[in-house]
Amino acid sequence: MFNIERWQEIFEAISKNKLRTFLTGVSVASGIFILVILLGAGRGIQNGIQSQFAKDATNKIEIYPGVTQKEYKGLGIGRETKFKNRDYEIVTEKFENFIDYRSKMYSVWSGNIVYGKETGTYRIEGVNPNYQFIENSTIKEGRFINLSDIENFNKVAVIGNKVANDLFKGKEAAVGTNINVSGTIYKIVGVFTDPGGEREESRVFIPVSTAQRAYSAGDNIRSMAFTMPKRDNFNQAVAESENFSKQLDKILKERHDIAPDDESALYINNSLEQAKKIFMMTDMIQFFFWFVGVLTIIAGVVGVGNIMLIVVKERTKEIGIRKALGATPYSIITMILHEAIFITLISGFTGLLFGLLLWAGIGPFIESDFFTHPEVDFNIALTTVIILTIAGGFAGFIPAYKAAKIKPIVALRDE
């Protein structure tokens, strides 16, 4: 029940010790403020990392050839692993029901491209139609490589948005135009954009079959890429991708007479395994931020407890008079608790408000590869303030209980 006299007493007590109350409030507010800042920073790190993984399919598995570093079956070290079309066919046939998208690739890192008077050097990648989804690319104009292009060795190209801007300067449409790629004329059938930005858009995709013929590669391929079906359960998805990676490693090493423990003969890049490691790291960072923030809040709560002990000491005679006039221990306890909770609550909300306003003001302007959109879940922050207020109540209970135990005769003798 609202008691105006009780609130008058609280404000009177605070007004008598403005500086002390202010400093105590600052310690509590700073605790919440620091926690909000740390939680926002942690979320910014998580958002940044997640945006990096979103640039490609999050369940992407790539395998590249390497050079052997161990002898095996009488074969020496230093052998270069060379993947063939048959390697890709065996893997796709064996795991047909366990993989989603798949593509073999033949890449040329520095392909010279000429259009009119414009020229540039870009990465040329011979790919299958599925590669669009593996790379998470979006067709801006035209279309991507299709099955007919693969089967008929069509000389068609899908260029990145940066390549289009470099060659055409925005003056004419790229689709339907012919370009010279490493001495061979290709017709542009599409322009793509990629969440990875200009680096990923500085590529030109052509049919893998055409690339093998144009660069005299025979049936050699440079790499293979696969995606696993998406799962609602992250741990299940990681387990499935790890199992696929192990079987893929085993099959290809057996086909190319590579020692099972030779880690240099081929390389498997599993995005889910990387994501798991990164997310574990971000969870540790978040835990550390919570730990530091909670310790700061505890320091503020201890300050509230200390200030209330001083209040009780200063008001010992007043409390004795109250008890002599019939005040119950419960009324004494609630009087002290009200003041402790009031200081904690107001200070906590102040720290919360300043923290949220800070992130709202500067958050939208912070943008980097691994730190973006720092924000704080308001419900979590509000819950923290409520918990802080309860903790402030507990901090004030000990002084309040001590005040309730004061004997009137002893209190009246206090100087």
* Predicted confidence (pLDDT) per residue in 354-382, tens digit: 887 887 777 767 766 667 777 777 777 77
Q: What is the pLDDT of residue 251?
A: 93
* Same domain as 175, residue 135: yes
Provide the mean pLDDT of the chain.
81
Same domain flag for 288 and 254: no
Mark whether 156 and 250 lie in a shared domain.
Answer: yes
Same domain, 231 and 304: no
Do 281 and 339 have their domain in common?
A: yes
Tokens of 349: 């909300």
Cα separation, 151 vs 145, whole angstroms: 11
Q: Give the count of domains, the chain.
A: 2
Note whether 108 and 254 are same-domain residues.
yes
CB 147 within 8 A of CB 211: no
Which two structure tokens, joined as six digits, stand for 237?
């998805």
Among residues 381, 320, 401, which one has the least CA distance to residue 34? 381
Instruction: Return the structure tokens found at 183.
Output: 């001495």
- Residue-level pLDDT at 1: 45
Contact 166, 120 (CB under 8 A): yes
Domain enclosing residue 348, as ranges: 4-52+277-413
Whether 10 and 88 share a structural domain: no
How far apart are alpha carbons 145 and 133 in whole angstroms?
12
Tell whether 231 and 82 lie within a shared domain: yes
Chain segment 3-38, per-residue pLDDT in tens: 666 666 666 666 666 777 777 777 777 877 887 888
29 and 79, same structural domain? Answer: no
The rounded distance, in Å, linking the Cα atoms of 304 and 319 is 20
Assess whether 287 and 366 both reside in one domain.
yes
Last residue of a domain, one of 231, 248, 269: 269
The domain boundary, picked from 269, 289, 308, lies at 269
Residues 309 and 358 in one domain: yes
Residue that finishes a domain, picked among 240, 269, 298: 269
Residues 206 and 339 in one domain: no
Q: Which residues of the chain have pLDDT under 70?
A: 1-17, 49-58, 234, 275, 309, 311-316, 318-319, 364, 367-370, 403-404, 406-415
Token pair of 145, please? 């490589």
